[in-house]
Structure 1
Amino acid sequence: MNLNTKEIFTAFMVLFAVIDVIGNIPVIIDLRKRAGKIESGKAALISGFIMISFLFVGKKMLHFIGIDVNSFAVAGALILFFIALEMILGITLYKHEDNSADTTSIFPIAFPLIAGPGSLTTLLSLRAEFSIENIIAAVILNVLLIYTVLKSSKKIGDFIGNTGILIIRKIFGVLLLAIAIKLFAANVKELF
């Protein structure tokens, strides 16, 4: 096992910024009101399972259809770039449908809110640069944080307030933008 604290922390921060569980607190609070209840443990476990599964199966799927990891990482960097723009500019480029049925914990919270296109693409992008055990550790840490945030989303929303949530989204948006540019530059070189 080759655990590296720096890699785990970097991968954790990238995933944390992409998942944006703090910025999604207003959405989570709204879903909680409509559904009546969110099963925090179920949502966190399912999102973690989806992310770790995709970490292993995603690369094989890419090879099956003839795409290398660096190409996917460049595509992922572009997606991260647009997610960062959403966070910084307060616009919505990616829209998902709300579902207020009993499955709210799974859809839309576990997928696509937490384990969505951004986080799945990010995992494969990270795989091009970091060792797999460090990425898994980062996913597990994020799942624990996601569980904590889901469990106490109403209290966190009340404490931070709308202005605080907006400020956090902007800060993580800038961080994510810088990471997207770094991932793009590192992987574009490998394509040529």
Structure 2
Amino acid sequence: MVLTPNLSSDFVTLFVTIGPIDTAAVFAGLTAATSGRERQGLARRSVLISGAVMILFGLLGGLVLSLLHVTLAAFRVAGGALLFLQALTLTFASPGLSSINDSERREAQGLDDMAVFPLAFPLIAGPGSLSAMVLLVGRATTLAAQAAVFASLLACLLLTYGAMRIAGPLMRWLGKTGADVVGRISGVLLAALAVQFVFDGLRQAAL
């Protein structure tokens, strides 16, 4: 049963911006020296924390924009541009906006608990995925459409948790080439969705 015509684009947008495969790759590197039980706990806590943050952004994003006197049309253009930038980095196999740099990676290695930083933020709940939540909820005009956005988020978080749980075998199976192929395909899809957000924002602003 299709809840909303935007259900597929909701899921694809969140799947690409969260990036379960990319998240699993970074997770595997950061937790290589930890035990299986510790990795399981880190994966669970990071997904729960990032999920709570993204739900809050989805629920309160519109209110924050109104308090800042920023129209949804303007945010659609800005958010679309941000997602397009992430799409370019994915397409050309570069670290995305939700990735972590070398200094953050070294800092994370010295932390007792990496669940909040860098796993929950910015790896899972990064600028791209948080912007996507505000855009998708803002686009949803009915309760069914809003429910579809949060259902898509739940599905993507479950996939991310699953990918993190099998990060080692998954990375060995995909290899560097396989991960790059997934990233490039995701980048192309995200680019099209990002441009559509920009078009929607410009159309709304012109009305």
- d(CA) in 2 for partners of 1:116, 1:171: 20
Q: Offset at 1:77?
A: 0.4
Q: Does 1:74 align with 2:88?
A: no
Q: Name the amino acid aligned to 2:24.
A: I
Aligned to 1:111: 121
Query: How far apart are residue 62 of structure 1 and its match?
Result: 1.1
Contact 1:51 1:123 in 2 (8 A): yes
Matched, 1:169 2:183: yes
**Offset of residue 5 of structure 1:** 5.2
1:93 and 1:114 map into 2 onto residues whose CA distance is 11
- Paired residues in the alignment total 190
Question: Shift in Å at residue 72 of structure 1?
Answer: 1.1
Q: 2:136 aligns with which of 105, 119, 126?
A: 126
Give the root-mean-square deviation of aligned CA atoms.
1.8
Please give the per-residue CA displacement for 1:10-68, whole angstroms capped at 9, x wherever unaligned: 21111001111213332221111256643211111111111111111121111111111
TM-score (norm 1): 0.91
Instruction: Give the AA of the match of 1:61.
Output: V
Matches within 5 A, 1:31-180: 31-33=30-32, 37-38=38-39, 39-92=42-95, 94=97, 96=100, 97-98=104-105, 99-100=108-109, 101-130=111-140, 131-180=145-194
Give, in whole Å, the separation in 2 of the partners of 1:17 and 1:73. Answer: 18
Secondary structure of the residue aligned to 1:45 is helix
Letter matched to residue 121 of structure 1: S
Aligned equivalents of 1:88 and 1:14: distance in 2?
15
Is contact 1:76-1:122 (8 Å) kept?
Answer: yes
Bigger Cα displacement from structure 2, 135-144 vs 6-15: 6-15
Change (3 A) 1:93 1:25: closer
Quote how far apart the aligned CAs of 1:125 are: 1.3
Q: Is the 8 A contact 2:49 2:116 kept in 1?
A: yes
Cα distance in 2 for residues equivalent to 1:164 and 1:68:
40
TM-score by length of 2: 0.85
CA contact (8 A) 1:127 1:135 kept: yes
Separation in 2 of the partners of 1:70 and 1:145?
31
Identify which range, 91-100 or 150-159, moves more after superposition.
91-100
Equivalent-residue separation in structure 2 for 1:165 and 1:80 (angstroms): 20
Q: SS in structure 2 opposite 1:128?
A: helix
For structure 1, the 5+ residue unaligned runs are none
